[in-house]
């Protein structure tokens, strides 16, 4: 299950960042998942719970933001976001395009948590 290795990477990254940010407790991880990333969200959520167990981010919520596929349409000379990943074709004029500008993301972009209180060290 490839979501499990992804979940482990996300958890590892979150733990590192929380440490650098001085977060005492992490309450949420914000993750962007592109429609072309190949990640099944339900599988990722399930894997995340397993991967987070026993780490500094255990109990933190996983908040997933969907990123639609965006292609560049050479006919419109514009970026167009697709209502579905397939077909890769401009939704306005119908021109096929393989020039993908977004939708492959799989990234941790924010952490929520409680910082260390000053004078409490």
Q: How far is the CB of 89 from Zn ion (least distance, A)?
A: 8
Judge whether 90 is annotated as a binding position: yes
User: Does residue 76 bind Zn ion (CB under 5 A)?
Assistant: yes
Judge whether 2 is annotated as a binding position: yes
User: Does residue 101 bind Zn ion (CB under 5 A)?
Assistant: no
User: Does residue 90 bind Zn ion (CB under 5 A)?
Assistant: yes
Q: How far is the CB of 92 from Zn ion (least distance, A)?
A: 5
Q: Are 3 and 40 in contact (CB under 8 A)?
A: yes
> Looking at 1, 63, 75, 84, which residue binds Zn ion (CB under 5 A)?
75
What is the number of the residue whose Cβ is closest to Zn ion? 90
With 0-12 / 13-18 / 19 or more C-beta atoms within 10 angstroms meaning exposed / middle / buried, residue 5 is exposed
> Looking at 1, 53, 84, 92, which residue binds Zn ion (CB under 5 A)?
92
Rounded CA gap, 9 and 15, in Å?
A: 10
Q: What are the angstrom distances between the C-alpha of 85 and each of 16, 96, 102, 120?
A: 33, 12, 11, 50
User: Does residue 87 bind Zn ion (CB under 5 A)?
Assistant: no
Strand 23-34 versus strand 61-67 pairing type: parallel
Q: Residue 15: what are its φ and ψ, rounded to 5°?
A: -65, -45
* Cβ-based nearer residue to Zn ion, 5 or 95: 95
Instruction: List residues forming the annotated binding site.
Output: 2, 73, 76, 90, 93
What does the binding site for Zn ion look like in residue numbers (CB under 5 A)? 73, 75-76, 90, 92-93, 95
């Amino acid at each position: 299950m490839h979501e499990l290795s992804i979940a482990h990477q996300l958890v590892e990254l979150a733990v590192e960042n929380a440490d650098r940010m001085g977060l005492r407790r992490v309450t949420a991880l914000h993750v962007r998942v592109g429609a072309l990333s190949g990640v099944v969200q339900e599988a990722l959520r399930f894997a995340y719970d397993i991967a987070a167990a026993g780490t500094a981010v255990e109990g933190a919520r996983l908040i997933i933001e969907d990123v639609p596929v965006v292609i560049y349409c050479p006919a419109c000379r514009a970026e167009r976001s697709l209502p579905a990943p397939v077909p890769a074709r401009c939704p306005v004029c119908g021109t096929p395009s393989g020039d993908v500008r977004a939708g492959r993301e799989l990234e941790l972009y924010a952490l929520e948590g409680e910082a260390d209180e000053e004078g409490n060290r």
